[in-house]
Amino acid sequence: MNKQQIEILKTLLTEQLQELIKHGNDAVNGMKDAGDNLPDPTDRASFDADRSFMLRIREREAKLINKIQAALDRIEEGTFGICETCGQKISFKRLIARPVTTQCIDCKSHQEVLEKAIGE
Ligand SMILES: [Zn+2]
């Protein structure tokens, strides 16, 4: 990857990160407002169900935020785009599709085959 490609990926990751953080804040604020004025137990129950659904999404988002931050750290360190399993370069095309990835397509597919075999 050249410098320009790294810059493109850095911008992509930064935008995704900002979007996730913004979305997370909106969701938390929305939840606080809605929960305060629900005297009806039925509304309350459905609010709680919504909330646990929201929390699951938040959990997934938090994990993604960590992955994005780790990817941005790797860009700073100069190790971004190198497969953590085999040490080969990950293709730019793959990184554009999935910038948080830490494995090249070969290692990833190999791992998936293994996981599937273990799962069965
Ligand atoms: Zn690899």
Whether residue 39 is predicted with pLDDT greater than 80 in this model: the reply is no
Whether residue 15 is predicted with pLDDT greater than 90 in this model: the reply is yes
- CATH of residue 71's domain is 1.20.120.910
| C-alpha 14 to ligand 1 mean position (Å) | 25
Whether residue 61 is predicted with pLDDT greater than 80 in this model: the reply is yes
**What is the C-alpha to C-alpha distance for residues 9 and 76, in angstroms, rounded to an integer?**
12
| C-alpha 120 to ligand 1 mean position (Å) | 24
Please compute the mean of the pLDDT values over residues 22-46 and round it to a whole number.
Answer: 75
Q: Pick the range with the lowest mean pLDDT from 16-20, 29-33, 83-87.
A: 29-33
Fill in the DSSP letter of residue 69. Answer: H
**What's the structural domain count of the chain?**
1
At 88 the pLDDT is: 96
At 34 the pLDDT is: 66
| C-alpha 94 to ligand 1 mean position (Å) | 12
Q: Domain containing 74: what range?
A: 3-119
Rounded to a whole number, what is the distance in angstroms from the first to the last CA of the chain?
38
At 54 the pLDDT is: 86
| C-alpha 105 to ligand 1 mean position (Å) | 7
At 26 the pLDDT is: 80
The CA radius of gyration of the chain, in Å to the nearest whole number, is 19
